[in-house]
Amino acid sequence: MADIPRERVIEDVSTLKALADPVRMNLLDLTQADPERTWTARELAGIVGVLPTNIYYHLNMLERNGLLQVRDTRVVNGIIEKHYGAGQYRVTFQRRVGEGGEGQREFVWSRLTELRDEIDTGLAKGTMKMSRDAPDRERALISMAFVEIPEDSIAAFREELIALVEKYEATGVPGVKFKVVASMHPREV
C-alpha cells in the first residue's frame, strides 16, 4: 500500500494554476476517488478522453506539483511505463496571508463549471435525481444555507465539516462513491 497523505493543503499559486485545467481536475478527481489504485497513462487518457500522446503534459504537471505519485515503473517493449496514483486523499485550498489572489478566481470558476457540468450530465442521463423519493445511491443533494456563527465558534464549525467527511473516508468499507464539495465563506451582503 502506498504512503498517501490524508490531506494536502494547497496554498501556492502555481499549484492552483495547475488545477485550473479541466483535464487535470478530472485526473485528480479520478485518482482521489480510488486512492489505492494505480493507472497507466494510456488508461487515464482513455478515461478522461485525451489522446495518449497529450496526457503526459497533464500527468507531468500534476506529478511536479505533488498531486499524483508515480508508484511503479515497468519496461514494456523497451519503453518505461509509469503507474500513477493519487498524491493525497483530499485537497483543501487555502491562500497564505499576504499572497495575491492570482489564479484563485480561475481555479474557483473551473471547479464550479465542472460541478455544474457533472450535475447536469447526471440529471440528463438519469443517474442522479433531486427527488427526496429517489434511492439513496442516486439522490443528489444541493443545499445552501446562511448561518450566523459566533466568532469564537467559527473554527469549530469548520473542523466539524472536515471531520464529517473524514469519518466516511476512513471507514475502508466499499460503498457508493459520492463527490462532496463544501464551501464555507463569509457572506457578501
47 within a domain of the structure (yes/no): yes
42 within a domain of the structure (yes/no): yes
144 within a domain of the structure (yes/no): no
150 within a domain of the structure (yes/no): no
Instruction: Please report which helix (H) or strand (E) contains residue 118, including its range.
Output: helix 104-125
Strand 90-93, strand 7-10: pairing = parallel
Residue in the structure block whose three cell numbers are 483530499? 90
Q: Can you give the pTM of this predicted structure?
A: 0.61
Query: What's 109's domain CATH number?
Result: 1.10.10.10
Helix, strand, coil percentages, rounded to 5, for the chain: 45, 15, 40
80 within a domain of the structure (yes/no): yes
Each residue's pLDDT expressed in tens, for the chain with a length of 189 residues: 568 887 888 877 788 878 878 899 889 988 988 888 999 999 999 999 999 889 999 999 999 999 999 999 998 888 889 999 999 888 877 755 445 555 667 777 777 888 888 888 899 999 999 888 999 999 998 887 888 899 999 999 988 988 888 788 766 677 888 888 878 888 776
73 within a domain of the structure (yes/no): yes
Residue type, 61: M
Number of domains into which the chain is organized: 1
Instruction: Quote the domain boundaries for residue 51.
Output: 1-129
146 within a domain of the structure (yes/no): no
Residue 123: Cβ within 10 Å count: 13
50 within a domain of the structure (yes/no): yes
